[in-house]
Amino acid sequence: MADNNKNPNECPDTGHEWDGIRELTNPPPRWWIIALYLSGLMVFIYFILYPSIPLVNDSTDGLLGWSQIDEYKEGLAEIEAKRAPYENRIAEMSAEEILQDDELLRYAVGSSKVLYGDNCAACHGVGGIPPEGAGYPILADDDWLYGGSVNKIIETLAKGRQGMMPAHADLLTTEEVDGLVGFVISNSMGEATDAQWKLYNEKGCAACHGADAKGVQQLGSANLSDRIWRFSGEPDEIRHTILHGVNDANDPKTRVAVMPAWNEKLAVRIEAEEYGDDPEEYYEGDEIERLTETEIKKLAIYVHQLGGGE
């Protein structure tokens, strides 16, 4: 070990000096040298045991044959083994039955957070509340265009939704449009006048939005009697919707509002059952399955439990 008792002023140096500090030529401590050689030995052992040396299309496997992918798969298999009993029960039970089972309900909601984040949050926002004016429905309230029962939510996820409001730019005068804008705003506050109701009925709005202007779930039409806005409650934005409609292929300025189908196979089955057909006749094996039926069931329960499910 270096003799640290020497007077630094008597030790030889390299001739380098920075801010009054001389660089001496004393050797490093022995423990430091030993640690240096041990670290080199550890690197050599690592190269032998683990994948380390890159080749043209791969790398050396190492004596242990370890890889991050294998470790990931082993961990995933452990998690799936723990989840399997719950997943099997969910697959066999209806959504209503799951809602009545506290243990399964907690599992379904907890295990659906990632599903929701990966597939739904981009449009509907974290917690089911999209940014204001984004044009996507809020999932955390009790206002539902097509219905908020858990089975209706399953149907919406599986089949998707694409409602349609025709453009009225060529059907209404400027005064009539202004009158209907006033009706929508006044009625949302419960203050619509008899004259405004008369205009609403005369222009055929009740055919889609209902005689009470609360919307018709079979059509997915908006409720005009509350303060919940799909697009915006500003007069100019309401006017734009009336003039150009929603999903009107004949108007280039129309609002586009489409909910994609997340499980084509389940959507086909739902449609077949609605019309009394055998759903197996429709299965050809090439249906798109973006999410499994179990995943859709869990997502429907998650959305239902956000606070606004019927």
Q: Does the annotation list 120 as a binding residue? A: yes
- CATH number of this structure's domain 174-244, picked from the four choices 3.40.109.10, 1.10.760.10, 3.40.1620.10, 2.60.40.10: 1.10.760.10
pLDDT at 6: 60
β-bridge partners, 13: 24
pLDDT at 287: 62
pLDDT at 5: 47
Q: Cβ(157)–Cβ(139) under 8 Å?
A: no
pTM for this prediction = 0.74
As assigned by CATH, the class of the 73-161+260-308 domain is mainly alpha
Which residues of the chain have a pLDDT value below 50? 1, 5
Which helix (H) or strand (E) element contains residue 106? helix 102-111
pLDDT at 3: 52
C-alpha distance across the termini of the chain, in Å: 80
Rounded to whole angstroms, the Cα distance separating 153 from 262 reads: 12
Residue 51 Cα distances to 39, 48, 129, 160, 238, angstroms: 18, 8, 46, 47, 62
Q: Does the annotation list 11 as a binding residue? A: no
Phi, psi of 58 (to 5 degrees): -155, -155
Q: Does the annotation list 240 as a binding residue? A: no
Q: Cβ(8)–Cβ(24) under 8 Å?
A: yes
Q: State the sign of the Cα–Cα–Cα–Cα dihedral 41, 45, 46, 47.
A: positive
Q: Cβ(154)–Cβ(112) under 8 Å?
A: no
Q: Does the annotation list 205 as a binding residue? A: yes
Q: Cβ(229)–Cβ(235) under 8 Å?
A: no
CATH 1.10.760.10 residue ranges in the chain? 73-161+260-308, 174-244
* DSSP 8-state symbol, 222: P
SS3 state at 67: coil
> Which amino acid, 221?
S
Q: Does the annotation list 259 as a binding residue? A: yes
pLDDT at 12: 81
